[in-house]
């Protein structure tokens, strides 16, 4: 690999090493060290679109995929790995179950110190984008 490749490889190893303890804490089933924030889960659903450990780490990639798919080919349906069909929508799907955005999405994002800038456009459940 060239110099550029080596630098990129080094960078990605660095990122993984630096973020690993954080992810392993978030992904841990229990709250062993007590630092994971208290989150409000949907009262009337037991499962997410994909399994929970996958969602914890990959929900942002799934959302990007949904948006890109929808814009590219206009297909609004997502078939999950268990064969369920969902509408590819941040507000109409994710927030339909995770109704309390403040005590779910935002609690965890505050803890993780990330500020997704989706909400200036995607606000109400009914309104789409």
Task: Give residues in contact with ligand HEC (CB under 6 A).
Answer: 26, 39, 41-42, 45-49, 52, 55-56, 59-60, 62-63, 66-67, 70, 88-94, 96-98, 104-105, 108-109, 112, 114, 116-118, 120-122, 128-129
Rounded CA-CA distance 52/50 in Å is: 6
Closer of 3 and 117 to ligand HEC (Cβ):
117
User: How far is C-alpha 129 from the chain's CA centre?
Assistant: 18
As measured in angstroms, the least distance from the Cβ of 38 to ligand HEC is 10
Closer of 6 and 31 to ligand HEC (Cβ):
31
| 31-53 burial code (b ≥16 CB/10 A, e <16) | eeeeebeeeeeeeeeeebbbeee
Closer of 18 and 59 to ligand HEC (Cβ):
59
As measured in angstroms, the least distance from the Cβ of 4 to ligand HEC is 23
Give the residue carrying structure tokens 């064969």.
83
Rounded CA-CA distance 55/62 in Å is: 8
Closer of 6 and 115 to ligand HEC (Cβ):
115
């Amino acid at each position: 690999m060239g110099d550029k490749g080596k630098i990129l490889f080094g960078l990605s190893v660095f990122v993984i090493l630096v973020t690993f303890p954080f992810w392993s804490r978030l992904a841990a089933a229990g709250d062993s060290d007590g630092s994971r924030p208290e989150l409000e889960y949907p009262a009337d659903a037991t499962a997410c679109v994909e399994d929970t450990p996958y969602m914890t780490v990959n929900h942002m990639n799934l959302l990007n995929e949904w948006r890109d798919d929808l814009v590219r080919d206009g297909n609004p349906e997502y078939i999950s790995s268990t064969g369920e069909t969902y509408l590819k929508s941040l507000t109409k799907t994710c927030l339909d179950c995770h109704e309390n955005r403040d005590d779910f999405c935002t609690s965890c994002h505050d803890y993780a110190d990330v500020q997704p800038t989706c909400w200036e456009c995607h606000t109400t459940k009914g309104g789409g984008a």
